Structure 1
Amino acid sequence: MPIASGLKRENPVDTGPTRTPAQQPASGTDAASVGLARPVVFLGPLPPPHNGFSAACQRMLELLRERTRVVELDVAKRGTGRRAAVAALGNRLRQFARMAGLCVRDRPHTLYLGLSGGFGQLLDVPFVALAQWFGLDIYFHHHSFAYINRPTWYSRLIMRCAPRAKHLVLCEMMRTELARIYRLPSANVQVLPNLSLIDLSSTAHQRDSVGEALTVGFLSNITAAKGIFTFFAVVRQAQDLGMPICARIAGPVAADIRAEFDAELARTPCVRYLGPVSGTDKEQFFHDIDVLLFPTTYHNEASPLIVLEAHSYGIPVVAHDRGCIGSMIDAHSGLLVPRDADFAALAIPYLQNLDLARERAGAERQALLAQFHIDRGQAEATLAQTIALISQSPTV
């Protein structure tokens, strides 16, 4: 459903004259008009660290800056341990002081919030309360199933602080469950899929010839919960059945599993670990594989960008049904494994069929790509409507 159909802007109370901002708009925007506009406050984590949440926030920030003046409040936690926690708290206090001064001087009209997934919501509460006090429109952008899978008192608290807020979610199931659990007006909860926020590959997936071995890929932050050890098990079981199968693995390895990861890598034939990849190295990763395996058991999985990136190259995905993944994969774009099912037991027959039908792989990839671009176009239209609504400054 188009997001514009359910969200309407409510003008905050006029509290005084507008102050000319120092920050200038992106190229292509009328500098004078935006310079006089009341700003949007952007609150969320930006890279680094690089993950799906920070990447989506970065993209939303870029799009908003193309339309209006934006004041950025970056609240990413960088590093681990006590020192990093203290630094993150200090940054929150500084950003809150900035927002308070901004509300008094420049009268922003909207707060866009990339909502934290856990206890970080308690640190988001003061910003939401301040925005509510000054009459700002508030947009929550939800990127986690943590507080849907396990409803929390602090999630109820932050949503009650802004009873008229608009909520942007990643799929229809997330929309239904969020509204039901937290008793939100259904008209205020709208789907904005991550499909509109990923960067498209510059070239479609093409291979000069069909190789002797089927190549499966794994690309993610490499943790036990993301399914790396299930991935190794699938590759070895397929090889034991006589399948010609090799593998490519990419991404940073979590320190707590490094020794076990190295041991599995050493004992699994025909597997290459590429390390973290980006840019042309990531493109090459997708060009080198026939299918992506994503056996995640991460309980807060939402709408992983890696699934969408694979589809943008025409690569089918085999993944557990977690979060919004069920809305991202169908019979034409991969295999959806029930969340509590044996991943290997279902993935291996799929890989066997894929190996036998590799002569038809090119046509199937083209069909997957065609549907991907249709879905992408619809998602981009929804995103454009959403950005326009958030950016729209009330008449002064």
Structure 2
Amino acid sequence: MMVGPFPPPVHGLATTNAAVRSHLEALGAEIRTINTAASSLDRSWLARFGRLPSALRGWARLATMRGLHRATIYLSVSGGLGQVYEAAFIALARLRGMRVFVRHASFAYIDAPTRLARILIALTGPSAVHVTQSQGMADRLQTIYGIPLIIPISNAVLYPQGEITSICVRRELRVVGFFSNLSAEKGVFDFLDLMTAIEAEKLPLQAKLAGLYQDAQTERTVHTRLKNLHGARYLGPVYGTDKEDFLSGIDVLVFPTRYKNETEAKVNHEAMSHGIPVIAYGRGCIPEIVGPDCGMVIDPTEPFVPAALAQIKIWLNDPTAFEAASRAAAQRFAETSAQNERRWQMLLSDLTGNSEILIGRPLSKQD
């Protein structure tokens, strides 16, 4: 049983859940899904309250479904009041005698611990398996909440690895890209500020933006800003081959996220797997993914544009250094994926009931 948001709408947590489901289905697992997704990306209170009917249907389904004793529930935990819904699912799953796997998908309650998160974690019980996206995230969760069993698995394992070839390595910086849901908290206005500074200094760069708008106000503001930028284009949401074309058409990913729930950010892995260096704010797990050899991580308390602009100038003036950063980005993604693959296979084996390697067993950092 998988509980959490699935597309649509498209956002990082929903697409990650869908990818996990696809991996389990490929192993022949029978997956029953309770989709708790909101109807849109709108973050208003009304939109969040709109999740209640789907949650009620999910609780009723979980309460009445037969044959759940010792079955598995895999649930994604959000960063705010959505944990009220999720805590109820966990409590009900425990009452039904299910094996509990919890994926932590937010840094909000790590950066600012909450009573609600403590209640939810207590409800999971001592034998639950908790999944994070990095060792640093696991260490902080364990310190704050005293969780006995945490397995760090980077989402890099969910994305295909390509060979590092001359095709994916960038040799010259010409196009900077922004690829995310378009919102202030994901940094779209910081990206536009950066492009304004780039054009003011007459640097020979173009810009491409892709993604869904979070709301109508953001769409209007971005369109107005784009009219004053000569070298920036918005391409809309991109999926499948359109996404591959977008990634093939940019040389650097700029990701000035201010999102309090940010963990790794799927876009960083997707960019680096294509040999694209990343300039990002150091939210969540991002400092554990992006190194100085393959991009730049900026302290979230510092202004984004001056630091990002300085790095871009370095790469423009030194194509050899930029090519090295591109090659390092692809290499870093491959290493991250390989380092996490064994743990990922252990988790899949436990989720499908083929073993109980993890349930109730403390994990060492060597596992």
2:192 aligned residue? 232
Deviation at 1:223, TM superposition (A): 0.9
Deviation at 1:238, TM superposition (A): 2.3
1:34 aligned residue? none
Match of 1:262 among 220, 223, 226: 223
Deviation at 1:202, TM superposition (A): 9.2
Hey, what's the Cα distance between the residues in 2 that align with 1:92 and 1:262? Answer: 36
Hey, what's the Cα distance between the residues in 2 that align with 1:216 and 1:222? Answer: 16
Q: 1:258 to 1:201 in 2, by over 3 A?
A: farther
8 A contact 1:286–1:313 mirrored in 2: yes
Residue type of the alignment partner of 1:159: I
8 A contact 1:143–1:302 mirrored in 2: yes
Hey, what's the Cα distance between the residues in 2 that align with 1:345 and 1:151? Answer: 32
Q: For residue 249 of structure 1, give the secondary structure of its aligned residue in structure 2.
A: strand
Q: 1:246 to 1:183 in 2, by over 3 A?
A: same
Q: 1:270 to 1:119 in 2, by over 3 A?
A: same
Hey, what's the Cα distance between the residues in 1 that align with 2:233 and 2:252? Answer: 15
Residue type of the alignment partner of 1:89: L
Deviation at 1:83, TM superposition (A): 8.1
Question: Which deviates further from its counterpart, 362-371 or 155-164?
Answer: 362-371
Q: 1:112 to 1:288 in 2, by over 3 A?
A: same
Instruction: Tell me how large the CA RMSD over aligned residues is.
Output: 2.6
| CA deviation map 1:318-358 (0-9, x unaligned) | 00111111101101210111111121111112111111222
2:202 aligned residue? 242
Hey, what's the Cα distance between the residues in 2 that align with 1:48 and 1:218? Answer: 21
Deviation at 1:301, TM superposition (A): 1.4
8 A contact 1:109–1:394 mirrored in 2: no
Hey, what's the Cα distance between the residues in 2 that align with 1:204 and 1:63? Answer: 27
1:132 aligned residue? 94
Hey, what's the Cα distance between the residues in 1 that align with 2:28 and 2:328? Answer: 35
Percent of residue pairs bearing the same amino acid type: 30
Hey, what's the Cα distance between the residues in 1 that align with 2:354 and 2:168? Answer: 49
8 A contact 2:164–2:331 mirrored in 1: no
Residue type of the alignment partner of 1:175: A
Question: Which deviates further from its counterpart, 379-388 or 86-95?
Answer: 86-95
Q: 1:275 to 1:384 in 2, by over 3 A?
A: same
8 A contact 2:170–2:275 mirrored in 1: no
Match of 2:69 among 77, 102, 107: 107
Q: For residue 161 of structure 1, give the secondary structure of its aligned residue in structure 2.
A: helix
Q: 1:296 to 1:101 in 2, by over 3 A?
A: same
2:11 aligned residue? 51
Q: For residue 279 of structure 2, give the secondary structure of its aligned residue in structure 1.
A: strand
1:96 aligned residue? 59
Deviation at 1:203, TM superposition (A): 9.1
8 A contact 1:118–1:146 mirrored in 2: yes
Hey, what's the Cα distance between the residues in 2 that align with 1:320 and 1:82? Answer: 27
Residue type of the alignment partner of 2:84: L
1:335 equivalenced with 2:296 (yes/no): yes
8 A contact 2:182–2:188 mirrored in 1: yes
Hey, what's the Cα distance between the residues in 1 that align with 2:137 and 2:266? Answer: 16
1:148 equivalenced with 2:110 (yes/no): yes
Deviation at 1:269, TM superposition (A): 2.0
1:186-197 aligned within 5 A: 188-197=149-158
Hey, what's the Cα distance between the residues in 2 that align with 1:268 and 1:137? Answer: 53
TM-score, length-scaled by structure 2: 0.87
Q: For residue 207 of structure 2, give the secondary structure of its aligned residue in structure 1.
A: strand
1:287-302 aligned within 5 A: 287-302=248-263
Hey, what's the Cα distance between the residues in 1 that align with 2:355 and 2:332? Answer: 38
Larger Rg: 1
Deviation at 1:86, TM superposition (A): 6.5
Deviation at 1:239, TM superposition (A): 2.6
Q: For residue 144 of structure 1, give the secondary structure of its aligned residue in structure 2.
A: coil
| CA deviation map 1:147-183 (0-9, x unaligned) | 1122222211111112212210111221122112212
Deviation at 1:109, TM superposition (A): 2.3
Hey, what's the Cα distance between the residues in 1 that align with 2:169 and 2:69? Answer: 58
Q: 1:370 to 1:162 in 2, by over 3 A?
A: closer
8 A contact 1:204–1:313 mirrored in 2: no
Question: Which deviates further from its counterpart, 252-261 or 163-172?
Answer: 252-261
Q: 1:68 to 1:253 in 2, by over 3 A?
A: closer
Residue type of the alignment partner of 1:263: T
2:362 aligned residue? none
1:270-309 aligned within 5 A: 270-309=231-270
Residue type of the alignment partner of 2:158: L
Gaps of 5+ in 2: 357-367
8 A contact 2:168–2:275 mirrored in 1: no
| CA deviation map 1:294-318 (0-9, x unaligned) | 1112222111000110001100000
8 A contact 2:12–2:265 mirrored in 1: yes
Residue type of the alignment partner of 1:142: H
1:161 equivalenced with 2:123 (yes/no): yes
Gaps of 5+ in 1: 1-40
Hey, what's the Cα distance between the residues in 1 that align with 2:162 and 2:7? Answer: 20
8 A contact 1:67–1:388 mirrored in 2: no
| CA deviation map 1:94-116 (0-9, x unaligned) | 222221222x4453422111112
The number of equivalent residue pairs is 351
| CA deviation map 1:194-248 (0-9, x unaligned) | 111234569967389977x721111111111111121122122223223212111
Hey, what's the Cα distance between the residues in 1 that align with 2:129 and 2:240? Answer: 34
